[in-house]
Amino acid sequence: MNLFSFNLWAQNNLSTEKIDKLILEALSNYRESNYEKSLIISRVALNQSTITKNDYFIARSYNIIGANYNDLVEYDKAIFFYKKSLFYADKAKNDGFKNMLYNNLGNIYCFEKKQYKQGIIFYKKSIELSSKTKDLSQIYFTNVNIAWAYFDIGNFEKGYPYLSFVNKHQKEVGDDDTVIITNMLNGMYCSYKDEGSKARVYFEKAIKLGNEHVEKLDLSYAHLEYSKFLTKNEEFKEAYANLSAYNKITEQIYNDEKVKKASIAGFNLELDEYKRQIDKIENEKITQYQSLKKSRIIVILFIVISFILLLLIVTLIKNIRFKKRHNLELLKAKEIAEEASMLKTQFISTISHELRTPLYGVVGITNMLLEEHKELSQSQHLSALKFSARYLLSLVNDILQINKIEENKVVLESLTFNISDEITMIKNSLSFLSQKNNNKINVSIDPNIPEYLIGDKLRLAQIIMNLVSNGLKFTKDGEVEIIVKLDGIEGKMYFLDFLIRDNGVGIAAIDQGKIFEKFVQVGRKDEDYQGTGLGLSIVKRLLGLFGSTITLESDIGEGTSFSFTIPFEYDPQKTKTIIEEIEVDLTSNEIYKILIVEDNLINQLVTKKIIEKNNYICKVVDDGFSALKILENETFDLILMDINMPLMNGFETTKRIRLLGIKTPVVALTAFDKDEIAEEAISSGINDIIIKPFEPVKLFKIINYLINEAKNGC
């Protein structure tokens, strides 16, 4: 027995040394930015630590995994593994390791997720724990992070006491990992205090030490902050050189190949995590079964009561197993759905921005042609172009945000319109498509329908245009009819019946039930027809917003008919009010001076024309640095700021404008969706947001409101 105990101790001790060596190797690879190898080795260390039930080693393994995901910009995963590490560090009663984890969590919340309040809470927990253990080096390290966090949000006075503590104990407990950042922070503070020469010395020392250090992430931060300092001092060439160095280092650290390989390793690691959960459940199952076997010896003495209890226990175990299995399935399904939703949102955001930017130029130049060449105002072609541009914008917004339609987040508008004019516009816009297949578009409108109705004319136009264009594509040498009849009247609501009929190829009965599904295109050959398969799906969802449904009748070779009914309001007095609100006089007795910050030449031209048409003085600059330069010498009533600009985006430009003490209202003029940028816009000092393309009426309402508010001292 003694010999067996000694061998078991020797085996465990050897295993501990092996795990410790694996953890150190994973940590070394992480510090050299070899994320793939670090994740693979830390996975092996975690498996070994779990087998030996060593809570401290489990905590260390999870910490390295979290650090890798942190560097790979997967912050939610990093937080997840850091918190698992914190759980096992607490079980191991290792306060020193808990200290480090509080710092890691503070770093993510402050510098990555920009949730400074939550991040500083973690930092202060670290200081509290370090004070109990009298760990001066950990207190020193945490003070560096808190000072950096406060400086990052521009609160230099609140952050300086922490930097002062760091400077005081630099020689005593400072190391190579903090000396670069400490010099950078001193440079930032001296820059804030306008002590330029001191700031320059600190920044250059930070960069010199960073170049000598193996890890280059701190060096990149030093280049970035030095660039900001040089910009402040109008040394733009040097500022650009440091900004380029920052971008180059960042690109080297996070190159695509490393991320791709590391993602594979990370996926295997997550599979191991699920496997551990399953093993845990199986172990619980075995334990429960063994306990039940032992209990049966006692149960024999009380057979009747024991039988009832046994049934209850078996039922309870089955319920527990079912709930655990069901919860795991739900959790996995939830994670898959969230990941798919995130990818969809990112795709929609990118495509939305790329499409809205050229559309702004199309809509703006069309309006300019109509305004500058009055003789073209009666041109059907130019009117059709303007209508098509507006329709395309509406279509792009709806297709790119079809998830909002499905969640009933699209709200119908109340606009006055003439049904005959709207359908004529649709007919003219689709004339090119009708000519392609030698088709005719015939229109029949009930004369009993009032001249002006109130409703969402853009959504109605989108429905009719989708159905008519669908008919034209599947018809050759034929005709498509648009028939509108007055079906009935209830108070102020006039119910209109719409019939879109063609004599094309028709739709088979077997396919009629699925043509309204997304991306479905029945009876299509590769060379026949173009389209996304979204048109009829959008029609069905838009009609749902109107409280209506669509009816389909079709036979192969005889054509197709779509019909639906929509109620519109008829109120002459309300129509008059709406028209008066639309035809507002945007001219102003005062002449305001507007600065446009925009890098796209076409967008510069369109925005400048819109502003000058209202008799405002307008100046245009190409980038954020030029904006800062002109604001030093000139005063403006309002600034129109593009967001997506090279070198320095609109958020950073606005932040620097506010740091100069300039309180001029800033309006973000952007193609990004408003919900995506609202939080960052507010934090950077932007007063309002308007999405391109836009109606001039809306822009001037915002301009006049903000300028008057600024003049009144609000």
**Per residue in 7-38, pLDDT tens?**
443 444 547 888 888 999 989 998 888 888 89
Query: With left for phi above 0 and alpha for psi between -120 and 50, is residue 689 left, alpha or beta?
Result: beta
> What are 458-496's pLDDT values in tens digits?
889 989 988 998 889 889 999 999 999 999 999 999 999
At 2 the pLDDT is: 42
Which of these ranges, 226-230, 297-301, 553-557, 585-589, has the smallest mean pLDDT? Answer: 585-589
How many residues are recorded in the chain? 714
Question: Quick one: pLDDT band at residue 278, thresholds 50, 70, 90?
Answer: very low
At a CB cut-off of 8 Å and minimum separation 6, what does 395 contact?
462
At 214 the pLDDT is: 75
Which of these ranges, 159-163, 314-318, 540-544, 645-649, has the smallest mean pLDDT? Answer: 314-318
> What are 309-345's pLDDT values in tens digits?
777 788 888 888 777 777 777 777 767 766 665 665 5
Side chain identity at residue 634, one-letter code = E
Instruction: For the beta carbon of residue 308, count every other beta carbon within 10 angstroms.
Output: 10
CA–CA separation, 537 and 23 (whole Å): 54
At a CB cut-off of 8 Å and minimum separation 6, what does 630 contact?
595, 619, 621
Task: For residue 208, give both structure tokens.
Answer: 């010199």
Highest mean pLDDT: which range of 235-244, 355-364, 428-437, 531-540: 235-244
Question: Quick one: pLDDT band at residue 412, thresholds 50, 70, 90?
Answer: confident
Q: Using CB atoms within 10 Å of the CB of residue 146, give its burial: 0 to 12 exposed, 13 to 18 middle, 19+ buried.
A: buried
Cα-trace Rg, the chain: 34
Give the CA dihedral 85, 90, 92, 98, nearest 10 degrees: 70
Task: For residue 67, give both structure tokens.
Answer: 């650090």
Task: For residue 388, give both structure tokens.
Answer: 């098509």
Mean pLDDT of the 426-441 span: 86
**3-class DSSP assignment, residue 560:** strand
First to last CA, the chain: 85
Which of these ranges, 29-38, 193-202, 367-376, 639-648, has the smallest mean pLDDT? Answer: 367-376
At 35 the pLDDT is: 85
At 584 the pLDDT is: 44
At 585 the pLDDT is: 45
Mean pLDDT of the 446-462 span: 90
Q: Are strands 688-691 and 666-670 parallel, antiparallel or unpaired?
A: parallel
Is the CB of residue 636 less than 8 Å from the CB of residue 593? Answer: yes
Q: Using CB atoms within 10 Å of the CB of residue 572, give its burial: 0 to 12 exposed, 13 to 18 middle, 19+ buried.
A: exposed
pLDDT value at 507 more than 70: yes
Is the CB of residue 502 less than 8 Å from the CB of residue 463? Answer: no
What is the DSSP code string of 313-337?
A: HHHHHHHHHHHHHHHHHHHHHHHHH
CA–CA separation, 552 and 562 (whole Å): 5
Mean pLDDT of the 520-549 span: 68
The residue among 473, 472, 422 whose CA lies nearest residue 449 is 422
Pairwise pLDDT comparison (158 vs 530), residue with the higher score: 158
Is the CB of residue 258 less than 8 Å from the CB of residue 246? Answer: no
Instruction: For the beta carbon of residue 589, count every other beta carbon within 10 angstroms.
Output: 5
Is the CB of residue 36 less than 8 Å from the CB of residue 262? Answer: yes
At 200 the pLDDT is: 92
CA–CA separation, 293 and 104 (whole Å): 47
Task: For residue 5, give both structure tokens.
Answer: 């105990």
Pairwise pLDDT comparison (288 vs 69), residue with the higher score: 69
> What are 658-672's pLDDT values in tens digits?
999 999 999 998 877
Q: Using CB atoms within 10 Å of the CB of residue 188, give its burial: 0 to 12 exposed, 13 to 18 middle, 19+ buried.
A: buried
Mean pLDDT of the 689-700 span: 82
The residue among 463, 541, 467, 462 whose CA lies nearest residue 507 is 467
At 624 the pLDDT is: 92
**3-class DSSP assignment, residue 306:** helix
> What are 379-388's pLDDT values in tens digits?
667 666 766 6
Mean pLDDT of the 236-255 span: 84
CATH topology (fold) of 390-580: Heat Shock Protein 90 (3.30.565)
Report the number of secondary-structure helices (H) and strands (E) in the chain. 27, 12
At 11 the pLDDT is: 45
Is the CB of residue 499 less than 8 Å from the CB of residue 481? Answer: yes
CA–CA separation, 118 and 113 (whole Å): 10
CA–CA separation, 441 and 468 (whole Å): 9
The angle, 0 to 180 degrees and rounded to 10, between the axes of the packed helices 256-299 and 55-71 is: 150
> What are 163-222's pLDDT values in tens digits?
889 888 888 887 777 888 899 999 999 999 999 899 899 999 888 888 888 778 888 888
| Percentage, residues of the chain above pLDDT 90 | 23
pLDDT value at 105 more than 60: yes
Is the CB of residue 148 less than 8 Å from the CB of residue 185? Answer: yes
Is the CB of residue 616 less than 8 Å from the CB of residue 639? Answer: no
The residue among 251, 263, 261 whose CA lies nearest residue 217 is 251
Pairwise pLDDT comparison (508 vs 160), residue with the higher score: 160
Confidence (pTM) = 0.41
Side chain identity at residue 277, one-letter code = Q
The residue among 414, 413, 494, 505 whose CA lies nearest residue 446 is 494
**3-class DSSP assignment, residue 160:** helix
For 638, phi and psi rounded to 5 degrees? Answer: -160, 150
Question: Quick one: pLDDT band at residue 301, thresholds 50, 70, 90?
Answer: low
At 423 the pLDDT is: 92
Q: Which CATH superfamily is domain 584-711 in?
A: Response regulator (3.40.50.2300)
Cis peptide before 358 (omega within 30 of 0): no
Is the CB of residue 480 less than 8 Å from the CB of residue 440? Answer: yes
Kindly report the CA angle at 133 between 131 and 136, in degrees rounded to 5?
A: 60
At 519 the pLDDT is: 54
Task: For residue 306, give both structure tokens.
Answer: 């024991």
Pairwise pLDDT comparison (485 vs 283), residue with the higher score: 485
- In a 13 Å sphere around the CA of 473, the CA atoms on its Cβ side amount to 20
pLDDT value at 399 more than 80: no
At 527 the pLDDT is: 42
Mean pLDDT of the 46-61 span: 89
Handedness of CA 536, 537, 540, 542 (dihedral sign): negative
Question: Quick one: pLDDT band at residue 349, thresholds 50, 70, 90?
Answer: low
Mean pLDDT of the 247-256 span: 76
